Amino acid sequence: MNSKRTEITYAKSSHFTNPTDDDTVQCIDKYHVQKNDLMEQIDGRGYSECPARGSLLQLLSAELVPSFDSRILVVGAYAAGKTTLVSNLIGKSIPRERQSTDGIDVYFGKLLFDLKTQKLLKKTKGVHSFPKAIYQKILSYLKSVKVDVIQQTGASSGKTKPDIPDDDVLQKLSKKIDEYAYDNSTERFDDQEVIPIPVLDFAGQIVYHATHQTFITSHGIYLITFNGSRNLNDPLSDREDERKTTILENIRQWVSSILLYSHPDNKDYPRLMFVATHIDLVSQEDVPNKRSQLLNTLSACFTDENIKSHLMLQHLFFVNALNENDPEMKELRECISKTITENPQWGQRVPKQFLILEMMFAALVEEGKHIISLEDAEKMNTQIGVESLSSTELKVFLRIQNICGKMTYFDYPNLENYIVINPTCLIDVLKSIVTAVPSIKSLQRGRLTNSDLTKIWSSEKFSHFLQHEEYFRQLLVHYDILSEMKRYDKESGKKMSVDCYLVPCMITKQNTTTYVERHVKSSKCVGFVFDFRESHVPDAIPSRLIASIISIWNVKRYKDDDLLFSNFVAVVLDRKHDLVVKTEHNTIAVYLIHKDRREMIIKDLASSVRQCLEQNLARISEVYSLSFKSDITTKKYVPFDVKLKSGCLSPDCLLITESLDGIDTEWICDNHGFKTPKSELDIWYTDRTLLRCTDSCQGVLDAVLSMLLNDSQLLRICNSLTKEEVRSLAVNLGITYPEFDAIDTDSTSMLKFYSLRLCREKNKSCKDFVKAMETAEINRHTMCQIIRQAEVLIDLPDKIQILPPSDEMLDKLCLRIGKEWMVLGLELGIEIERLEQIEYETPKVLREVSRQMLYYWRNRDDDATIRELLYALARSGRNPHLIREILENCDSYPNITPVD
């Protein structure tokens, strides 16, 4: 092994930090003893029977082992020549007629990287598959592994002997490697150490984009492909039913999507190359000018330095992919080879348990397994022949494998108990929906029934999904490919089982109705936008947000049309309010419309809608932005800002929310001079109704000052103050900084709550809190607002108040609670520990957490009534009239009758 390779293999940082220099010095004397012990085991166990076993033992005697993982992703518009390019790249027979790609084609083990020569090789013999690619990778590790001082010191970690797998595990794993190495159908690379590089060929049609973010990762090298014989400003398609966009806009979309989805931690990776195809359609003398023209246009399109650092614009590859000997294809391979080794993630070192589990999972895939339970994975973890991973470490392994595209695992309710171990399985699940359009006509309108889905998966190609049909159904719902429609019985208000899903990503039809012209106008609505900081909105984002919206509210019916179109939806909030969400330029625009005039829009409805959509957008981006770190995996989000629209509703007249405080009475937009009242701008941030103190307020009554605050009051204080203010308040109440810092919780809201609860446990009364607030320079009237009890005056008849809340009522109420859900839960008598459990077990979306809390309260107590809910809302600081407003918008309300 040359010195450069040694550095690449063993000097990279990994999840587990390498030993310090002092560790190395302390371990150096033990190394010779350990090496002799190791050699005795190798000589004494009869490893000559299985050639791979000796090398495998050497490799796995270290705690950390090298791991070489990369992937090439070929993306671009349809008919750009991606499939032909991939065929040329991997040595597959080049198609002479255009073939449309269904979803994503993945090639494992057809393109190889030689660690010695640092070059890409085509594999011309043998069947390519995911398991065989894993075996080939391990085989190359065995050829290159050497037991040296660096490995041994890393392996020992202070132990007297390395943790070496037992013979049974070595027997099973090495047998698989040997079977692969000596398979007659397998191409031999005796003098080469080759690593398989998966190649993914993405379909170009917009309808597929909703699924692409699943496979984008910062591990990859991206070939953005386009037809170089055309002008970049030419329309991508002349079809009437397709959205109008240009080739350049499509390229910009892909660049934005890749960088947003992969959420790179390294400023240079992932790397994006540009490949222009169809050079054979350009006359030879025009090629230099055409290349220069294309490069100039691309350079002018991408000027942001953060984006440019990922783009390899120093050279545009202009290829004839139909020609196997095309010189520019050779240059492209050389450039890819160099870029692979320069990635900081190439050759990283991981725990040896990761490698063992990877081989064990590959063996299951080879046996025909597609999915296993988390329980099975935990059991396998105890059978790996070395110290097993902890439950936390196993989750880290699964997340990293998910990021690398080797399996699918999400630590979410309804999904956390299963692992899709065959990487092509998820592709087939997504592909099964898209390819079913010809046979299921309703899919063209974005509709799919349960029976349709079962029919799709009953075909021979997809029949293996039926064994875990509910899991895959929930996976599609999680990805917002399928959107569940809620319906309620008009008599009882109970949820009804609905057989139909909406599939927004399948809808290509544009909005041709007059609804926008007649109702989305200044006199009737207010608006804001989600702005995606200096990048285009990826096609999947609006599609998924729309899917989440229609799982909450019903699509509006307008003149015999459902207002659900490509990148557009209108839903009914209640009898007087509609909500419109649509793509505008580089934003997703949100409009709240009143039936009569905008001044009558309910304030807390607007703020609840904004909270709900913002939370949903964060959840959507979280799915595909798990980031690979040197020591941990962290959750990130696609970056976006909320900007408020001027009353003129122009796409260009936007105000950043931070500027709200600087506006006294109105905002006048520069472009049109339109005056928007401050109250109209504040409507999106009126998160709850506060009972304000008047100038004559004398503060909290003496009788109350001596009382201890209850949990809901403490939580309301936390929701009214920042973390710094709570910290200052707690310190002034006698909590030490070490006590504050010792509170064990990852939640900021719970950190604030437990710090104040600690104060109460030290018998700090309301009077002590008021004095501490004054010392911390917190408005003294804050406590007045926290403890003041509003008198509940509501004109609901008793026969309604004594009824239990219906499903429909609670589902509508959960959208109006917002951040006060835990305060309301405490007022309803739910223990704080149970509320924390609900938050932990539920996806972090306010409406869903609120819904789970309300259902738990109602189902726990047979005597739960609407009256109890009214008083709890009043005690938590919310207007109890909210209940009447919600009931009036429930179809079941006029027909509710008390039980005799």
pLDDT of amino acid 516 = 92
Q: How far apart are CA 862 and CA 623, in angstroms?
A: 38
- Among the residue ranges 119-123, 156-160, 460-464, 860-864, the one predicted with the least confidence is 156-160
What is the pLDDT confidence band of residue 245, given thresholds at 50, 70 and 90? Answer: confident
pLDDT of amino acid 288 = 92
Amino acid at 247: I
DSSP 8-state class, residue 770: H
Percent of the chain surpassing pLDDT 90? 15
- Among the residue ranges 2-6, 443-447, 748-752, the one predicted with the least confidence is 2-6
Q: Look at residue 28 and tell me whether its pLDDT is greater than 80.
A: no
What is the rounded average pLDDT of the residues 836-846?
A: 75
pLDDT of amino acid 797 = 74
DSSP 8-state class, residue 523: T
DSSP 8-state class, residue 284: G
CATH number of this structure's domain 72-125+195-344: 3.40.50.300
pLDDT of amino acid 5 = 33
Tokens 């207010």 -> residue = 526
Amino acid at 889: N
Tokens 């008083």 -> residue = 871
| 175-225: pLDDT as tens digits | 888 877 777 666 666 667 888 899 998 876 666 676 666 778 777 899 999
HSE on the CB side for 73, CA within 13 Å? 29
Strand extents, DSSP E, 441-488? 447-449, 483-484, 487-488
What is the rounded average pLDDT of the residues 772-795?
A: 71
At the topology level of CATH, where does 509-683 sit?
A: TATA-Binding Protein (3.30.310)
Q: How far apart are CA 189 and CA 140, in angstroms?
A: 9
**CATH classification (class only), 798-888:** mainly alpha
| 510-533: pLDDT as tens digits | 888 999 999 999 999 999 999 876
pLDDT of amino acid 894 = 57
Sequence spans of domains, the chain = 72-125+195-344, 436-502, 509-683, 702-788, 798-888
pLDDT of amino acid 151 = 42
Taking the alpha carbons of 435, 437, 439, 440 in that order, is the dihedral positive or negative?
positive
Report which of 140, 144, 114 is spatially closest to residue 1, judged by C-alpha positions. Answer: 144
Report which of 252, 266, 196 is spatially closest to residue 224, judged by C-alpha positions. Answer: 252
pLDDT of amino acid 693 = 59
Query: In terms of CATH, what superfamily is 702-788?
Result: Death Domain, Fas (1.10.533.10)
- Among the residue ranges 78-87, 359-368, 403-412, 851-860, the one predicted with the least confidence is 403-412
Judge whether 702-788 and 798-888 match in fold: yes
What is the rounded average pLDDT of the residues 7-26?
A: 33
Which tokens sit at 412? 């979410």
Residue 641 CA to its chain's centroid (Å)? 18
Report which of 368, 386, 370, 388 is spatially closest to residue 378, judged by C-alpha positions. Answer: 388
Q: Exposure string (b/e) for 278-311, b if CB count within 10 Å is 16 or more?
A: bbeebeeeeeeebbeebbeebeebbeeeebeebb
Please check whether residue 423 is in contact with residue 407, taking contact to mean a CB–CB distance below 8 angstroms.
yes
| 368-421: pLDDT as tens digits | 899 999 999 999 999 888 888 998 889 888 888 887 778 888 887 788 899 999
Q: How far apart are CA 207 and CA 507, in angstroms?
A: 8
- Among the residue ranges 39-53, 213-227, 274-288, the one predicted with the least confidence is 39-53
- Among the residue ranges 411-425, 710-724, 776-790, the one predicted with the least confidence is 776-790
Report which of 459, 458, 442 is spatially closest to residue 503, judged by C-alpha positions. Answer: 442
Report which of 870, 865, 868, 854 is spatially closest to residue 899, judged by C-alpha positions. Answer: 865
pLDDT of amino acid 30 = 36
Question: For the chain, what is the radius of gyration of the CA atoms?
Answer: 31
